[in-house]
Structure 1
Amino acid sequence: MSAITGIHHVTAISGSAKRNFDFYTRVMGLRFVKKTVNFDDPNTYHFYYGDETGSPGTILTFFPWEDIMAGRRGTHMATEIGYAVPDGSLDFWLKRFEKENIIYNKPSSKFGEVYLTFLDPDGLKIELTVPEFPDNREPWETAEIKDEHALRGFHHVTLTLDDIQPTADLLVSVFGYELKKNHTNRYRFAGPDGEKGGYIDLVEAKGEMRGHVAGGSVHHVAFRVPDEAAQEHFRKILEDRGLHITSQLDRKYFKSVYFREPGGVLFELATDTPGFTVDEPKEQLGQHLMLPPQFESQRSEIEKKLIKLD
């Protein structure tokens, strides 16, 4: 069945690789699923964080560039990443952010759900949301962050746009999403899997300054397709709509196609397969530098240039 079932992963840009690694593994308690390199710049890492196996819908990835300039939130970009957390866990996170000197806002409410906003060390805006319906996904646990507090996976991603209508039309007529809720200038869309797939929030901000994607910004948002046949089905539909979409690219852990949606945000369609255990057993995920085959012959040179994480 050809269907887009929700958010596959979100990729962002950071500065210091070491600081990024420490924050997401230690402070936020995500599993370091894969340590590899940027396909276009093998002297730079590509980090993947998620649940035990890096399940689609839990994967946050980063391109860390040590001297990257700071980005600026604005229109034509993804501006917030939302994670689902258990009911009763926000006090834990408030105390943890205080201890770690993390910038945050006091909990508030949106669409009847309580959420806590904070900034990661590079200024990436993230929200921890207690969802209306309990999220039963099994989280990754650490010595400091157990099941009752741990991040479940994506709850939503927010796109800030000058005009939401062209993007909303794409979500509804091609991706099979449906408008579920609206408050002032925020519109919440759910895919065929409902809240399980992660919501897409569109915020209309006419006349606001255009954002700049750099450090502390979302680079692209990837949506799930079950296999290559479904991916090709949607690729042809998008191409017929006049959108410039790439041919399929092999990202080793999934196959990808990329295009800019009408509001200017870079979207990806990523297959659920083969997954992150294709080159490492589940028990060893994230423990070794895994290189794409085309860079394996350069391993010694690449390893010398990459920042040590410990």
Structure 2
Amino acid sequence: MNLLGIHHVSILTGKAEKNFEFYTNVLGMRLVKKSVNQDDTSSYHLFYGDAKGNPGTELTFFDIPMLAPTHPGVSSISSTSLRVRDEESLQYWKKRFEEFGVTHEDIKKRANRNTLAFEDFEGTKLILVADDGEDGVAAGEAWSETDVPAEHGIVGLGAVLLRVRNQKPTARVLTDVLGFEHVDTYPSVDGDGLPDVHVYSTGEGGVGAEVHIQERPDLPKERIGRGGVHHVAFRIPNEEEYDKWAEKIQAAGLMNSGKVDRFYFQALYFREPNGILFELSTDTPGFDVDESVDSLGQNLSLPPFLEDQREQIEQKLRPLTLKE
């Protein structure tokens, strides 16, 4: 019973319109689901992914207008990786970022991979990472209806970087409970004298199945706001294994949400000892359960248990105009 890799990463935004413009028009990702935060149906929840909305490709955003900025620190998911084909793609993106005025670094090695770190308009820390033919969890399919050439398109999620004061309790949950293995250590590229980064891997391995951890006892605790990462979700193949994972998390003594039906996937939430929110999510049934693949993201989608409240929900939602 192994987790397959990263399912999705959820982030906070204060401006859904500008968020949509950046992730579709600049990054060339596809809006695969326009829905609502099921825990607060007065706000939108946007999902961006690959051409088919495959598991392991989605960045999701909770829209909270007027949200204060994030104050970075520990107990945080401090960066999220996005996969591209190879180093040539990184060169393409470096040039594109310069054209669009996107804040970015030079191409650097992280975990012996070619990477390009950048930020969105709210300061969200993102890293493009080149697959360069590496074995591991399969990538998705680049969205072709964009001006980003398909050969350079974003094809999925890569590793997340966790920053914590003490990595041991977080590592213990990853290895003893979730079944990850410690597979590598690499030097920090953020400055001289900073602690190394530890790499933990699950499933078939590769960048789509990794969590990176860095100890930073010198930093304050993060105060999350716009641009901050709310949680990371890990992939479970189906509902049968989901039931077993729910039992395992409970048996491990981790306080958790219990099983939560999100309709597009089944979920379970818990915080690891440093306070970072983890989620376990099923690959099934998927984002095309209520829309065809061709029409993903075109309309406001609600799960069946909210459908009878559609009129009230739509009345509470602020107008949202998303322009290609």
- Between 1:136-145 and 1:215-224, the stretch displaced more is 136-145
Asked whether 1:273 is paired with 2:284, we answer yes
Unaligned runs of 5+ in 2: 187-194
Equivalent residue, structure 2, for 1:73? 72
1:209 aligns with 2:220: yes
Aligned-pair CA distance for 1:235: 2.0
Alignment of 1:18 with 2:47, yes or no, is no
Please identify, of 294-303 and 220-229, the stretch whose mean Cα deviation from structure 2 is larger.
294-303
Q: Which amino acid aligns with 1:166?
A: P
- 1:242 equivalent to 2:253? Answer yes
| Of 218, 228, 243, the match for 1:232 | 243
In 1: Cα distance, 2:263 partner to 2:75 partner: 29
Deviations 1:164-193 (A, max 9, x none): 111111111222211111124200111021
Counterparts of 1:16-165 in structure 2 under 5 Å?
16-87=15-86, 88-134=88-134, 137-165=140-168
Q: Offset of 1:207 from its aligned partner?
A: 3.3
1:303 equivalenced with 2:314 (yes/no): yes
Task: Work out the CA distance in 1 between the residues paired with 2:207 and 2:145.
Answer: 24
Is 1:258–2:269 an aligned residue pair?
yes
Instruction: Tell me how far apart the structure 1 counterparts of residues 71 and 240 of structure 2 sit (CA, whole Å).
Output: 37
RMSD of aligned C-alpha atoms?
1.6
The aligned amino acid for 1:34 is K
Letter in 2 for 1:303: E
- Residues 266-305 of structure 1: CA distance to partner in whole angstroms, max 9, x if unpaired? 0011011110111111110000111233433443443343
Q: Taking structure 1 as reference, are residues 84 and 228 closer, same or farther at Cα in structure 2, changes over 3 Å only?
A: same
Letter in 2 for 1:97: F
Q: Which amino acid aligns with 1:126?
A: L
Distance in 2 separating the partners of 1:37 and 1:235: 25
C-alpha contact 1:42 1:295 (8 A) present in aligned 2:
no
User: Does the 8 Å contact 2:85/2:132 carry over to 1?
Assistant: no
Which residue number corresponds to residue 171 of structure 2? 168
User: Which stretch of the first structure deviates more once superposed, 258-267 or 131-140?
Assistant: 131-140
Q: Which runs of 5+ in 1 are unaligned?
A: none
Q: How many residues align?
A: 309
Q: Distance in 2 between matches of 1:250 and 1:93?
A: 37
Which amino acid letter does the alignment assign opposite residue 321 of structure 2? K
- 2:158, 2:95 → 1: CA distance? 22
The CA deviation at 1:136 is 5.2
Q: How far 1:156 sits from its partner (Å)?
A: 0.6
Q: Which amino acid aligns with 2:167?
A: I
Q: TM-score, normalised by structure 1?
A: 0.95
Matching residue of 2:192: none
Residue equivalent to 1:181? 184
